[in-house]
Amino acid sequence: MVNLNLNDVAANNHFKALKDCLQNRIKKILKNGVVKSKTKYLPNNDLKIYLNYLLIDDNLKQLIIARPESITEIISFTKNRYGSFLTKNHPSNIILNNLFVKSCYDDTKVFSKHDFIKTIDIDTCPYCNRSYIYYLSKNKEIKPEIDHFFPKSKYPFLAMSFYNLIPSCQTCNGFGGKEEKDPLKEDLINPYLLKSSDFSFTFEPISSRIISTLLDKNSIKVKIIKNIPGHLDVFKLKELYELHSDHVVELIFKSKIKYSDTYRAYLEKYKDKGLEFSDNEIDRMILGNYATEEEIHKRPLTKLYQDIGKELGLIK
């Protein structure tokens, strides 16, 4: 729904901040293994080869900063060469989970979720564009949500890969939403590879209803006419967006009373008073939301507003 911009500078800084912690932990695992629920797990030969491979800086860096399209290649190679790594509760999976998740992702001294989301610089959930992902500083104890696009339970070796960490809202990341669903099985696309044009909204009147008021939210139905089916199913976008018909009704009302023409003319009068608005600023005030593709992430439902606003002729 919302495209995330690649940021290789941030990805490299992310790697630099994690490198020593991960490699020091690898050395300890190679020497002593890990203990979980009073059971000691030692790496087998395949895992020893893999862990020693990651002790080479460039190899670990390749894993941590891998771009979204390369992550699927890493998964394919790992599945063919080290299939047990992807098997939940297999000793190798447990050890990798300890390395990347418990010893790194879950350790606030090593990885700050607050700082990470601040680096991404996005305001709304990229999966739904319905909710803010705002958070407070650490001492305010408002926990930010970060989704592992490829879930850490199955792909623990990707748990700290920069482009696998997606800021999200609680609805999309929680129970009934994405949870631990595998994108390869659900046909999901990483938000870094999404385009805003992958989704498109319209509406249709519900003619069988007796409309009680001009702004009756039940008089129309929101429709998603262009979509990625996997996202529609996993994030329940169709059902959730149908709940937002009141926003569309208000836009329809504005179009009926020629609101945009009247308001544009009204704002033009302020030029003589030294107050001049750009076309984008006027579109934003008419729409009641941001009006450009680059600003979709800034406010909930922006994509819906833009598509309907263009359809109704409120904005170009």
Classify burial at 251, counting beta carbons within 10 Å of its beta carbon; exposed 0-12, middle 13-18, buried 19 or more: buried
Residue pointed to by tokens 């696998």: 164
Rg (CA), the chain: 24
The pLDDT score that the predictor gives to residue 18 is: 97
Closest among 188, 48, 17 to 116, alpha carbons compared:
17
Query: What is the domain partition of the chain in residue ranges?
Result: 8-186, 196-311
pLDDT (0 to 100) of residue 257: 81
Asked if the model's pLDDT at residue 174 lies above 90, the reply is no
Which amino acid, one-letter code, is at 298? Answer: K
Bridge partners (DSSP) of residue 36 are 39
Rounded CA gap, 29 and 243, in Å?
50
The dihedrals phi and psi of 201, each to the nearest 5 degrees, come to -110, 150
**Per-residue pLDDT at 124:** 96
Place 256 in a pLDDT band, splitting at 50, 70 and 90.
confident
Residues 176-203, mean pLDDT to the nearest whole number: 95
Mean pLDDT computed over 123-130? 96
Tokens of 181: 């669903």
Confidence check: pLDDT of 247 > 70: yes
| Residue 316: pLDDT band with limits 50, 70, 90 | confident
Q: Which of 156, 146, 136 is nearest to 93 (CA)?
A: 156
Instruction: Please answer whether residues 172 and 128 qualify as being in contact, where contact means their C-beta atoms are separated by less than 8 angstroms.
Output: yes
Mean pLDDT score of the chain, rounded to an integer? Answer: 92
Q: Which residue has the higher pLDDT, 47 or 212?
A: 47
Helix (H) or strand (E) holding 118: helix 113-120
pLDDT confidence band for 130 (50 / 70 / 90): very high
139 pLDDT more than 80: no
Q: Flag whether pLDDT at 69 surpasses 80.
A: yes
